[in-house]
Structures are given as structure tokens and as C-alpha cells.
């Protein structure tokens, strides 16, 4: 996506694998890596979360990051989020995406998840070429449409700040 949409959208990849395992730190001191990711989320117009599916759920590394990003900080509060995913199986990441929607909608995160917009890539080992480029024209067309919708969703969310101000006051 980063290469494909380079002329239209600035996408920055964020690595989650280097975060320490979440364990409620004494004094709520957060690791610098978590603060850096939180700052990137705060500065972003929107967030695209790409997830694989392991045992019908999101992977532990993503859960770990979300636990850190909801402990005393709230970078996802009313942040527009689009969820996408690819998996080896025939169902794509449908169950992981449903799981992630539930997590992101929790009171600790309160993200604004783009509705009615699953982007699933099933059988991912066959879906991409050697360079990592998506090959199916229909799938590419759907992705282009969803990214355009996400840009509109971000614009729409700029007008929905009444609840955000109230939520900010309660944090």
C-alpha cells in the first residue's frame, strides 16, 4: 500500500515487534517506543491497521501494542481507523478484523473505525507476486475504493469533535 498509494497518501509503517511485553509499570512509566508510536498516531490524520489472523484473532504482538497504547494514554481517541488484513486461509482475516473492531471500540481506546469496510486478502501466498505486489485486479480496485472512502471518512471525522472534547475532559 505504501508504494502503491505513494502519490496520493503518505503512509508510514510502524513496527510493533520491538515493544516490551505489557506489564502494568509502576508509576505508569511508558517505554519510549510506546510514546513514539503514540505521538505518530496523534499526528496522523488516520491509522490503517493491517492484521493477519491467528487462531481466529489478532496476533499477540498487536494486542500487546494496543494494551500499551491504552494504558494512561489515549492516542486512538476518536482517531479514524481502517482495518485491513491478509492471511493464508480462505476466509482472509474476517474474524481477526471483527476481533480488532471490538477492541478498538472499547472504552480504553475509543477509535472511530471505518464502518462497512472489510478488506480481506485470502490465500495470501498466491495473492502477491515475488515483489509483494497484489495481483488480482478486482482486489486492487476494491482497495483503491476503500482508501478513497477512508480519506472521506477522515474528512468527515474532522467535523465530529463534540464528543471528542467531552471524552478528553473525562480522561
Over residues 116-133, the mean pLDDT reads 90
Query: Does residue 33 have a pLDDT over 90?
Result: yes
pLDDT band at 10 (very low <50, low <70, confident <90, very high): very high
Asked if residues 77 and 84 have their Cβ atoms less than 8 Å apart, the reply is no
CATH number given to 26-170: 3.40.50.360
Q: What is the pLDDT of residue 3?
A: 84
Neighbours of 112 (CB within 10 A): 22
The rounded distance, in Å, linking the Cα atoms of 73 and 160 is 21
Residue 171 confidence (pLDDT) above 80: no
The pTM for the full model equals 0.91
166: Cβ contacts below 8 Å, ≥ 6 apart? none
- Single out the residue of 95, 98, 90, 136 nearest to residue 116, CA to CA: 98
- CA 168 to CA 12: how far, in whole Å? 26
Residue 43 has pLDDT above 90, yes or no: yes
Amino acid at each position: 500500500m505504501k508504494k502503491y498509494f505513494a502519490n496520493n497518501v503518505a503512509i508510514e509503517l510502524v513496527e510493533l515487534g520491538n515493544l516490551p511485553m505489557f506489564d502494568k509499570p509502576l508509576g505508569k512509566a511508558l517505554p519510549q517506543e510506546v510514546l513514539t508510536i503514540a505521538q505518530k498516531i496523534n499526528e496522523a490524520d488516520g491509522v490503517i491497521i493491517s492484521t493477519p489472523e491467528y487462531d481466529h484473532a489478532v496476533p499477540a504482538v498487536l494486542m500487546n501494542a494496543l494494551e500499551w497504547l491504552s494504558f494512561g494514554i489515549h492516542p486512538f481517541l476518536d482517531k479514524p481507523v481502517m482495518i485491513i488484513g491478509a492471511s493464508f486461509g480462505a476466509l482472509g482475516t474476517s474474524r481477526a478484523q471483527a476481533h480488532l473492531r471490538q477492541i478498538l471500540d472499547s472504552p480504553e481506546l475509543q477509535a472511530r473505525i471505518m464502518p462497512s469496510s472489510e478488506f480481506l486478502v485470502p490465500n495470501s501466498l498466491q495473492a502477491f507476486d515475488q515483489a509483494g505486489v497484489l495481483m488480482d485486479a478486482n482486489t486492487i480496485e476494491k482497495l483503491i475504493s476503500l482508501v478513497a472512502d477512508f480519506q472521506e471518512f477522515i474528512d468527515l471525522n474532522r467535523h465530529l469533535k463534540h464528543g471528542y472534547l467531552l471524552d478528553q475532559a473525562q480522561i
